[in-house]
Structure 1
Amino acid sequence: MEEKNYTGTVPGQHRGDSVTAEGNRSFEDITAAKAFFLQAEAKVLDVNRWHDQAGEALAHFMLTDTDGNPVGGTARQGLLIKIDIPGPGSESGEGYDWVEIEEIKKTDSAGVQSTALRVRPIAAPGSEADEPTHFYDEQSTSTFTITRENTTVTVAVYDRNINPNTEADSLIDKVRNAITGLFGEKVFSKIQWQSLVDGILK
């Protein structure tokens, strides 16, 4: 399926690996498609309920402020997402991986509506680490999109330029990230994100 990048939020693929998870639903008329788009958009932006949407998937997500305090409501640019994945957590993140919501962008025209949310690995709040507290490095991104093209609504997640974060400050995290990063590319991202996509489209 062609990449849905109407907002220009999905980066070009220049290094490392990429993972794409996507799905779509078609409707009989524009009114129904627009209504479903708004419902799906709300789910994409409701980070605290991603686990509910994904069902028995692999991780829990929590929206926080820049100090790591839990935040309710919808995603906003500049907020963080604390991720609890199965298995050993990061030492510098006290068991969690962290990303920042670096951009949320929307476009709306006669035939197309699209909303995109892009995140990037960062160091955990309060951490003295120089490198991101995440199994991917700082050039890796994940972009979550919801797009209506006439009567078809597509939900997609695009992981781009992904490499394991092997430059972590501690040896424990270097080993953990190398193993988890490889697992993440081959299993976690695809299964987790496809589960999320499928859940949002229900």
Structure 2
Amino acid sequence: MEEKDYTGTVPEKFDGGNINAERVAELHNIAAAKALFIAARKRLLDVNNWKEISKQPIAEFSLTDSNGNEVSGPVQEGMYFRIDIPGPGTKTGNGFDWVLVEKISEYQLEDIESIGIRVRPASNPKNMDQEIAHFYSPQTTSTFTITRENTKVTAAVYDRNTKANTDDLGFLDKLRNMLTGAVGILAFSKIQWESLTDGLIKDNNC
């Protein structure tokens, strides 16, 4: 599928795998499409409610500040996602997986508008340990986008350069990441992201 990357937030593939998830809504007129884009953009920025809007949620996402403390409101660059997935977490992440919000960008023309949020596996901001607290390696990124092209609105997630994180970890954390990373590449991320994109552009009464 062709990426919706008007914002320039999706990096190029150089190693590992790719995972794409897209959902498209075709609206009957421009006004309806603009209204859906506004609603979907708001849902995208409201990370703490991703579990509620997903049709088949697997993970729970919590937005935190740079110290790992939970925060409300729309996501901003420099914040973190604390991710709770089924099964055991890592000691490094205090039972969670962590990603850093490294870029948020928007693009707008008369017939096209888009927003992109890119995150990357990160260390646990609640401790001084610099080891990556995620089952994917730090070269992996996830980019979440909402795009309106005339009367079409697309919600998408693009994982790029996906590889399991096995560097500089204890045996149990390395084993967990190898297993979870393999499942993530094959199934977990695809199912989670398809569920999220469904929820982002669900019908609304705008």
Q: What range describes the TM-score normalised by the shorter chain of this pair?
A: over 0.9
Q: Distance in 2 between matches of 1:185 and 1:164?
A: 8
Cα pair 2:56 2:192 within 8 Å, conserved: no
Give the corresponding residue for 2:5: 5
Indicate whether 1:109 and 2:124 are aligned: no
Give the corresponding residue for 2:72: 72
Cα pair 2:55 2:198 within 8 Å, conserved: no
Aligned identity (percent) is 49
Give the corresponding residue for 1:97: 97
SS at match of 1:18: strand
Q: CA deviation at 1:55?
A: 3.3
Cα pair 1:98 1:122 within 8 Å, conserved: yes
Indicate whether 1:131 and 2:131 are aligned: yes
**TM superposition outliers: structure 1 runs of 4+ over 2 Å:** 126-131
Q: CA deviation at 1:169?
A: 2.3
Cα pair 1:123 1:131 within 8 Å, conserved: yes
The one-letter code sitting in structure 2 at the alignment partner of 1:70 is E
Q: Distance in 2 between matches of 1:54 and 1:200?
A: 8
5+ long unaligned stretches in structure 2: none
Give the corresponding residue for 2:23: 23
Q: CA deviation at 1:126?
A: 3.2
5+ long unaligned stretches in structure 1: none
SS at match of 2:158: strand
Q: In the comparison of the two structures, how many residue pairs are matched?
A: 202
Q: Distance in 2 between matches of 1:129 and 1:181?
A: 21
Question: RMSD in angstroms over aligned alpha carbons?
Answer: 1.0
Q: Distance in 1 between matches of 2:124 and 2:187?
A: 24
SS at match of 1:70: coil
Give the corresponding residue for 1:186: 186
Query: TM-score, structure 1 length as denominator?
Result: 0.97
Give the corresponding residue for 2:51: 51
Indicate whether 1:198 and 2:198 are aligned: yes
Q: CA deviation at 1:110?
A: 1.1
